[in-house]
Amino acid sequence: MSETLDLTLKVWRQPGPDASGRYVEYKLTEISTHMSFLEMLDVLNEQLNEKGEEMVAFDHDCREGICGMCSLMINGQAHGPDSGTTTCQLHMRRFKNGDTIVVEPWRARAFPVLRDLVVDRSAFDRIIQEGGFISANTGSAPDANSVPIPAPVQETAMDAAACIGCGACVAACKNASAMLFVSAKVSHLSTLPQGKPERDSRVQSMVAQMDLEGFGNCTNTEECQAACPAEISVSNIARLNREFLRAQLCSKE
């Protein structure tokens, strides 16, 4: 029932943030097609450990596609070949016997490599901290049903709120732009009535931080949307642009 694969991996190995890295080739045999991609890497690591080589470091946690911790550029594609899928949900049945698979870390100046395939995505947190919230101190909230929100508005907000913060959009964009990520949060909050009071300051601060972190600019090539495991739409980027212009042109700040 279960088939197996023999594979060649070319994995980026880099001992530390300031060290230089290189691709190292590994051969794997009898990989079950039912394995997830990360389980395949587990197998590799077990074998490396046995041979006395240090394991390949890669980020992961939930392994069910929601925490956004896993990453990996697999054969030049963020999260591998499947659309709407994180690396942890990618399965080996997607590959063929004899395949060579190149595994690289996310590459962006704003996401420096820490070790092997692990990168530092704290830039995202700093963007959120500048405005990716609604200021509502604990205890100050009115009854949840006091402001009705039309279902379509709700749906739009939810679509955008589904972002898992993985950074695949940055990784896949030829300019390493973070616009999809930022636009998802701005869209989520600015479409909801609760988010309106801070609408202008939010978008201005978040965009300023995004620029400061050294992400590239959006050239509307839409690779981010194709790579996004949460299927965030680029229409959010247009909304971000709109919100930003509106804030610049109409607000008092």
Inter-residue contact 4 to 31 (CB < 8 Å): yes
- Residue 86 or 177: the one with the smaller Cβ distance to ligand FES is 86
166 scored as a contact of ligand SF4 (CB under 6 A): yes
What is the closest distance, in whole angstroms, from the C-beta atom of residue 89 to ligand SF4 in the complex? 13
220 scored as a contact of ligand HEM (CB under 6 A): yes
Q: For 76-177, where are the alpha helices, taking DSSP H only? A: 122-131, 151-161, 168-172
Q: Report the residue from 9, 44, 60, 215 that binds ligand FES according to the rule CB under 6 A.
A: 60
What is the closest distance, in whole angstroms, from the C-beta atom of residue 97 to other proteins in the complex? 16
Three-class SS of residue 246? helix
Tokens of 64: 């069910």
Q: Report the residue from 72, 118, 164, 234 that binds ligand SF4 according to the rule CB under 6 A.
A: 164
Going by C-alpha positions, the residue among 17, 40, 22 that lies closest to residue 30 is 40
Tokens of 129: 């901290």
Alpha carbon 231 to its chain's center = 11
How far from each other are the two terminal CA atoms of the chain, in whole angstroms? 64
39 scored as a contact of other proteins (CB under 8 A): yes
Cα–Cα dist 24/162, whole Å: 35
Q: Report the residue from 6, 25, 46, 231 that binds other proteins according to the rule CB under 8 A.
A: 46
210: partner contacted, choices other proteins, ligand HEM, ligand FES, none (Cβ within 5-8 A by kind): other proteins
67 scored as a contact of ligand FES (CB under 6 A): yes
Position 169: which residue type? Answer: C
Catalog residues that contact ligand FES under the rule CB under 6 A: 60-63, 65-70, 86-88
Catalog residues that contact ligand SF4 under the rule CB under 6 A: 163-169, 180-181, 184, 227-230, 232
